[in-house]
Amino acid sequence: MTVLLSHLGEFAWGIAFTVGLVVLGWIGAMILGTVLAMMRVSPIRTVRVVAAAYILVFRNVPIPVQMVLFVFGLPLLGIVFPLFPSAAIVLVMYHAAFVCETLRSGLNAVAVGELEASRSLGFGPFGTMRHLVLPQAFAAVVQPMGNVLILLVKNTSVAAVVGVAELTFTADKIAIEEVQAFAVLGGAAVAYVVICLVLKRFVASLERRVAFSK
């Protein structure tokens, strides 16, 4: 316990980096995932195929592999990103695939009759998407989307693989320095649980709100 207290500052920075990755990763993944989901249900075949190919690659390659390929592979092509943005980009690309597939199940839940009604009322395809389909789809998938969010929190630890000083990396570093793996990593575990609990509360309140709107 004293080990944790003497490294409180470092620990706080680790948590800050983890939260930063979660925030950036989640905003990016929601935007990219929504675009991908719309592409998946597009009437144009090429667009559907492109989105399906993206999902095939990014959902099926383990995230540590993607991380290492992005950080140590891309420089071979002459592209070098700093480490923190690299980690954030990989997190966005990986979780966008999951956001997309989660949201798609919501899109499929919207009845065809509603689409027909919207078109006959004069909404174009994008207007229909924006005002009718997406709001209903998002409301239907709040809970499974919360699972993706918690997945993201835990997957930020993979950034440790490429030297980003987030919570897992920091804990590991302190554990090696202090030769006390159990106490330090135990502290990190508690911190992850707290972050997830806070997010779970947020998701639950969102769920109650959409329950009223339905």
Question: What does the binding site for other proteins look like in residue numbers (CB under 8 A)?
Answer: 62, 64, 68, 72, 75-76, 80, 83, 160-163, 165, 169, 172-173, 175-179, 181
Amino acid present at 179: V
Give the residue with the Cβ less far from other proteins, 93 or 174: 174
Q: Considering beta carbons, is residue 107 or 175 the nearer one to other proteins?
A: 175
Residues in the chain: 214
- What's the min distance (Å) between Cβ of 178 and other proteins? 6
**Minimum CB–partner distance for residue 214 and other proteins (Å):** 42
How far apart (Å, rounded) are the C-alpha atoms in residues 165 and 125? Answer: 45
Nearest residue to 170 via CA among 178, 149, 89, 151 = 178
C-beta closer to other proteins: residue 158 or 191: 158
Count of CB atoms situated within 10 Å of the CB of 146: 19
Largest CA distance in the chain: 69
Sequence-distant (6+) residues with CB within 8 A of 2 are none
From CA 202, how far away is CA 87, in angstroms rounded?
25
Distances (CA, A) of 191 to 12, 15, 58, 195, 205: 10, 8, 28, 6, 22
What's the min distance (Å) between Cβ of 107 and other proteins? 34
Smallest distance from other proteins to CB 199, Å: 24
Question: Residue 41: helix, strand or coil by DSSP?
Answer: coil
Nearer to other proteins, 130 or 154 (CB): 154
Q: Nearest distance from residue 155's CB to other proteins, in Å?
A: 12
Structure-block tokens of residue 62: 């383990």
**Which lies closer to other proteins via its Cβ, residue 56 or residue 176?**
176
Taking the complex as a whole, the smallest distance from the CB of residue 12 to other proteins amounts, in Å, to 18
Which lies closer to other proteins via its Cβ, residue 76 or residue 112? 76
Residue keyed to tokens 């290492």: 68
